[in-house]
Structure 1
């Protein structure tokens, strides 16, 4: 659907030093995505491969001319890997060795090295995907030899709290920062519309914001 952009917030977040804004464009029309990119957003995120596949031909040229990167931020199913590698510049949700190997193999076939992030199940929640915090270093060491993926960071989805209790996410973001100190990866992708301000305080240098960017 077409939406109005919250230009003030977008420009404010783009002006933050050492912060990468990923504009989440799930359920957002191609026309609105173009507006977002023209405003200066250099990274967009999608969680549904089929939906993005339909929009992609309409925005492909602008993505290329504006050097805007596409991020896959949803759970990646094995049978969707080929399409994901074709459509996206970054896959933020590597959560198993099987998926890492599949992404690597599909990238090799396309002659590309794709940027990826390890998804961390920071709240040990059964309903969420990701590597448990205590296993992240071991998991990194297991997949780092794959030659067609480039591990650039860690990503998490913190447990959900009501917006006025978003401070409760602090301890989870602190844990992510501690885990990354062992690996020293470039990006810590954490914080969404409800809690991005807390994530930034705790060391996030990449945030994934959707709803707040649109009014």
Structure 2
């Protein structure tokens, strides 16, 4: 399957923008309150270049190696988001290339990222992943343990705790994810109200191609969209 041309991507982007704008209008939210993260995983650098021509500023990569390959060379005004789980031995690469990591789910990773960012003299935005779908295939802290986990987080001068991330239910029915999205919003609000290390805890990264309307209705501040923009992915063969 060939990649979309610039013109095909432009048409797809305009259609997606109409969906986002409509969802924001239905929720009485300004369009600017929702950041679109272009999920470029398994798409080549050429696709990223096309997206940049269309005004994209924020890109999401699941795999650290792909993020390094595409975003090690910094472009002014362009942010790289690592949105997939990061193994401990990949945290240094992730911290080096990313402006934001969405998938942190244990204190050990927080401590290691703090140490690495101290060495890099860098401040890194991080989000904490919660498994609101309660599916075994999904990463993240369980809903039952999420609040206690957040309260156990240490102060970390080189990390900015920005909010929460989740992946909706894999049922093909967007409405099935609403309860989990609402849970995430309530938890975010509770932490933000505490202040301290949670003073910047404003972000909710939730919603993808299939369920972005529900996510926006439930307060998403970041949506992670790949398929609707770049087209279907060609997954690499498993070795």
Same fold (TM over 0.5): yes
Q: Are 1:9 and 2:24 matched, yes or no?
A: no
Q: Which residue of 2 aligns with 1:176?
A: 184
Residue 28 (structure 1) aligned with residue 29 (structure 2): no
1:186 and 2:202 matched: yes
1:154 matches 2:155: no
Q: Report the counterpart of residue 201 of structure 1 in structure 2.
A: 217
- Tell me the distance in 1 between the aligned counterparts of 2:79 and 2:112: 21
Q: Counterpart in 1 of 2:69? A: 54
**Structure 2 SS opposite 1:154:** strand
**SS at structure 2 position matched to 1:17:** helix
* Structure 2: stretches of 5+ with no match in the other structure: 22-29, 193-200, 232-239
Query: What whole-Å deviation, never above 9, does each CA across 1:88-112 have from its counterpart, x for those lacking one?
Result: 1000001111111111111111011
Could you list the structure 1 runs, at least 4 aligned residues long, displaced by more than 4 angstroms after superposition: none
Show CA shifts across 1:115-156 (max 9, x none).
Answer: 000101112222221112233333223224122111001000
1:134-182: CA deviation from partner (whole Å, max 9, x where unpaired): 33333223224122111001000122112xx221111111111121121
* Cα root mean square deviation, aligned: 1.8
Deviation at 1:188, TM superposition (A): 0.5
Structure 2 match to 1:38: 53
User: Where do 5+ consecutive residues of structure 1 fail to align?
Assistant: none
Matches of 2:136 and 2:17 in 1, distance apart? 36
More moved, 168-177 vs 112-121: 168-177
CA contact (8 A) 1:133 1:179 kept: no
Residue 16 of structure 1, CA deviation: 2.1
- Matched residue count: 208
Match of 1:79 among 86, 89, 94: 89
**Distance of 1:34 and 1:49 partners within structure 2:** 19
In 1, distance between residues paired with 2:168 and 2:14? 26
